[in-house]
């Protein structure tokens, strides 16, 4: 999984496929870019060839030499056994408004050939999350302000769909329904689920949770005025990652000061910057090391409605996995949540067109380091958990 790999993204799909076939898979953290050591079968060799994945056949002697190298206490490497293929769900409208090409995670899951189910509000409200190990949230607004895109036809249509679902489940406002969805997603994570959120979903789920019982929606969104004292009533103990943030009212594209971008038209601007992944001890900080496996540690920036997280609002319980060179700008964070885990990744699409909601053709980006971070999270639930030393 270093620079010699022809297709990093499909290699993750192959690892997932092997887990489905009950073959042994070891993730070699920091060995040649985070390579996979997979039990040999002629069927797997054929799969590698069909999927255009680079691989090497190893003798027992060669394998033992690699394992001994990794076990050396003086090198920053480790071996993690992968145990099972996680059941994957993507939280997204089940219609033509959101398709593979507009959601980066759906796009890369499809490209890597990792199966997933699409679920949405009605599924969450009827407790369908219990069927899954891993849940992804992307360009979603959990505050009931319809993503603040009411000038767009697709958002107007989606707002009507959400209003109908709210009425179906007995809620007078979409914000009330979305809050209940957010609470159930939080319970999923606390109960042992793996939550991965990108872009505005990572920001708005925390806003919704902190604003429980408070009207933060202005009349354009729900027909009545927001609580003028809403800011002072926020309860940051209820949120996943962020605290002490300031709500931004009106029709701004920004929801809050969680988003460190200052301009309001940033979503339509190309970024020429980069962010850097932190280096963790693979033998002691296994989870952060797993989540940052890559063949590059400096990754090109990409834009989104929530482009970059404000470092001053990140709770001290969260681990920062990657940040910008610009002061106070963080891209990638992680923490445990009860018996589960969550990872928040800012921006919309690592290889997408800014502001146009369209994912680029991944056949042109089979080695994308930005997409590898997503797929690290998809395989994360497969890793065998070790008891912590005290």
pLDDT at 94: 77
Q: How far is CA 261 from CA 97, 223, 316, 347, in A?
A: 27, 29, 21, 11
At 271-298, the pLDDT tens digits run 668 999 999 999 999 999 999 999 999 9
- Identify the three-state secondary structure at position 320: strand
Residue 96 pLDDT greater than 80, yes or no: no
pLDDT at 138: 86
State the sign of the Cα–Cα–Cα–Cα dihedral 128, 140, 133, 190.
negative
58-67, long-range: CB < 8 A, 24+ apart: 63/37, 66/28, 66/31, 66/37
At 137-185, the pLDDT tens digits run 988 899 999 887 755 555 677 788 899 999 999 999 999 999 999 999 9
pLDDT grade for 386, boundaries at 50, 70 and 90: low
Dihedral class, residue 284 (left if φ above 0, else alpha if ψ from -120 to 50, else beta):
alpha
φ/ψ of 198, rounded to 5, equals -125, 165
Output the CA angle 204-352-341, nearest 5 degrees: 40
pLDDT at 158: 77
CB 220 within 8 A of CB 250: no
pLDDT grade for 381, boundaries at 50, 70 and 90: very high
251 CB-contact burial (10 Å; exposed 0-12 / middle 13-18 / buried 19+): middle
Q: Domain spans of the chain? A: 8-82, 88-382
At 293-318, the pLDDT tens digits run 999 999 998 888 898 999 999 999 99
Residue ranges of the alpha helices (H) in 134-238? 153-168, 174-190, 199-210, 219-222, 230-233
CB 286 within 8 A of CB 324: no
Separation CA 36–CA 31 (nearest Å): 9
pLDDT at 384: 77
Output the CA angle 132-167-204, nearest 5 degrees: 55
Percentages (nearest 5) of helix, strand, coil residues in the chain: 35, 15, 45
pLDDT at 193: 97
Q: Tell me the CATH architecture of domain 88-382.
A: 3-Layer(aba) Sandwich (3.40)
């Amino acid at each position: 999984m270093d620079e010699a790999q022809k297709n990093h993204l499909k290699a993750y799909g192959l690892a997932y496929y092997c887990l489905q076939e009950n073959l042994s898979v070891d993730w070699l953290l920091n060995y040649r870019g985070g390579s996979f050591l997979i039990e040999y079968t002629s069927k797997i060799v054929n799969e590698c060839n069909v999927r255009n994945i680079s691989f090497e056949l190893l003798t027992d002697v060669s394998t033992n030499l690699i394992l001994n190298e990794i076990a050396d206490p003086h090198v920053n490497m480790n071996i993690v056994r992968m145990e099972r293929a996680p059941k994957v769900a993507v939280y997204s409208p089940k219609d033509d408004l959101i398709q593979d090409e507009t959601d980066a995670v759906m796009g890369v899951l499809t490209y890597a050939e990792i199966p997933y189910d699409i679920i949405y509000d009605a599924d969450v409200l009827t407790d369908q999350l219990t069927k899954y190990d891993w849940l992804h949230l992307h360009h979603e607004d959990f505050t009931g302000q319809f993503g603040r895109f009411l000038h767009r036809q697709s958002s107007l249509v989606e707002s009507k769909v959400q209003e109908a679902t709210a009425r179906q489940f007995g809620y007078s406002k979409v914000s009330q329904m979305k809050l209940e969805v957010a609470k159930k997603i939080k319970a999923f994570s606390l109960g042992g689920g793996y939550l991965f959120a990108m872009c505005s979903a990572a920001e708005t789920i925390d806003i919704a949770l902190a604003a429980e019982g408070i009207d933060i929606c202005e009349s354009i969104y729900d027909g009545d005025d927001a609580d003028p004292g809403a800011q002072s009533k926020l309860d940051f103990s209820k949120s996943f990652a962020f605290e002490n943030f300031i709500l931004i009212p009106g029709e701004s594209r920004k929801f809050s000061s969680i988003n460190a971008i200052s301009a309001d038209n940033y979503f339509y601007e190309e970024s020429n910057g980069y962010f850097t992944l932190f280096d963790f001890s693979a033998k002691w900080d296994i989870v952060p090391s797993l989540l940052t496996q890559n063949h590059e540690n400096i990754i090109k920036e990409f834009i989104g409605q929530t482009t970059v997280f404000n470092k001053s609002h990140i709770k001290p319980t969260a681990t920062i996995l990657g940040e910008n060179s610009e002061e106070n700008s963080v891209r990638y964070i992680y923490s445990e949540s009860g018996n589960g885990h969550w990872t928040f990744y800012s921006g919309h699409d690592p290889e997408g067109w800014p502001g146009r909601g369209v994912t680029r053709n991944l056949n042109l980006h089979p080695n994308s380091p930005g997409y590898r971070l997503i797929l690290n999270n998809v395989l994360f639930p497969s890793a065998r958990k070790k008891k912590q030393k005290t």
